[in-house]
Amino acid sequence: MVRGEQTVFIADDHQIVRDGLRALVERAPGLRVIGEAADGRALVEGVRALHPAIVITDLAMGELNGVDATRQLRAGGFRGPIIMLSMHDERRHLAQALGAGVNAYVHKAHAFEQLLEAIGAAQHGRIWLSPQLAALAEEGRVATLLELLSMREREVLQLLAQGRGTKEVAAQLLLSPKTIEVHRLNLYAKLRVNNVIELARIAFREGLVQL
Amino acid sequence: MVRGEQTVFIADDHQIVRDGLRALVERAPGLRVIGEAADGRALVEGVRALHPAIVITDLAMGELNGVDATRQLRAGGFRGPIIMLSMHDERRHLAQALGAGVNAYVHKAHAFEQLLEAIGAAQHGRIWLSPQLAALAEEGRVATLLELLSMREREVLQLLAQGRGTKEVAAQLLLSPKTIEVHRLNLYAKLRVNNVIELARIAFREGLVQL
DNA sequence: GCGCGTCCTAAGGAACTTCCTTAGTCCCCG
DNA sequence: CGGGGACTAAGGAAGTTCCTTAGGACGCGC
Confidence bin at A208 (pLDDT 50/70/90): confident
A6-138 and A145-205: same fold? no
Residues of chain B with C-beta less than 8 angstroms from the C-beta of A23: 20, 23-24, 27
At A68-79, the pLDDT tens digits run 788 778 777 788
Per the CB < 8 A criterion, the answer to whether A48 and A25 are in contact is no
pLDDT > 70 in chain A, percent: 82
Residue B96 pLDDT level (bands cut at 50, 70, 90): low
Kindly report the bases of strand D lying within 7 A of a protein C-beta atom.
5-11, 16-22
pLDDT tens digits, B119-136: 887 777 666 776 656 555
**Residues of B with Cβ-Cβ distance to A161 under 8 angstroms:** 197
B138: alpha, beta or left, given left = phi > 0 and alpha = psi -120 to 50? alpha
CB-CB contact of B91 with B134 (8 Å): no
Do residues B79 and B61 make contact, with C-beta atoms less than 8 angstroms apart?
no
What is residue A86's predicted lDDT score, i.e. its pLDDT? Answer: 84
* CA-to-CA separations, A45 to A11, A17, A28, A76, B206, in angstroms, rounded: 11, 20, 25, 10, 36
Which pLDDT score, from 0 to 100, does residue A143 have? 44
The b/e string for A56-91 (b: 16+ C-beta within 10 A; e otherwise) is bbbbbbeebbbbbbbbbbeeeebebbbbbbbbebbb
What integer pLDDT is reported at residue A67 of this predicted model?
77
Using the predicted structure, report yes or no on whether residue B142 has a pLDDT greater than 60: no
**Is the confidence at residue A59, as pLDDT, over 90?**
no
Distance A186 CA to D3 C1' (A): 20
Judged by average pLDDT, the poorest of A25-34, A96-105, A136-145, B99-108 is: A136-145
B8: confidence class by pLDDT, cuts 50, 70, 90: very high
Pick the CATH number of A145-205 from 3.40.190.10, 1.10.260.40, 1.10.10.10, 1.10.1580.10: 1.10.10.10
Rounded, the Å distance between the CA of A198 and C1' of C22 is 28
Of A109, A161, A163, the CB nearest to B13: A109
Out of B85, B106, B163, closest to residue A198 by CB: B163
Count CA atoms within 13 Å of residue B3 on its CB side.
6
CA gap A83, A118 in Å, rounded:
7
Q: Identify the pLDDT of residue B35.
A: 93
Average pLDDT, chain A: 81
Interface touch B15/A110, C-beta < 8 Å: yes
Closest A-chain CA to B210: A201
Choosing among 3.40.50.620, 3.40.50.2300, 3.40.50.10190, 1.20.1250.20, the CATH entry for B6-138 is 3.40.50.2300
Domain residue extents for chain A: 6-138, 145-205
